[in-house]
Amino acid sequence: MKAHLTRRYMFSASHRLHSDRMSAEENRATYGKCNNPYGHGHNYMVEVTVSGPVHNHTGMVCNLVDLDGFVHTHILQRYDHQNLNLLSEFAREVPTTENLSIAIYEIVKRGFHKAHLEKIRIEETMMNSFEYTGEGR
């Protein structure tokens, strides 16, 4: 019997949406106010969804302590109160929330093996949320 578990986590970070491959005009047209040279910040809400069999002994897909510990160590400590533009994973990528979703997915996929990673969902604002399931890479 397969079940899904979704946990929510929050962190705050800043970024500037800007591509060195585009002119200043193209950047302004593409990213609008998010191209502000001083950047801007968000309070991100991240959902990590994992799945697996419900273990007979525990009644759980995975131990929440294990998932929380992994996310705290590898995601929250990495991204909370950071300027995303300065992190190595965004040296060649624009730190859009789409790309942030992919980066977090890859970290969890490589390092958390106590359940199957289904998706990462990030709520950037009340109006914007992004999901990545690992498809297309």
Catalytically active residues are 34, 81, 124
Q: Is 53 helix (H, G, I), strand (E, B) or coil?
A: strand
Q: Is 102 helix (H, G, I), strand (E, B) or coil?
A: helix
* Residue of 19, 44, 21, 47 lying closest to 34 (CA atoms): 19
CB 9 within 8 A of CB 79: no
Largest Cα–Cα separation, the chain: 60
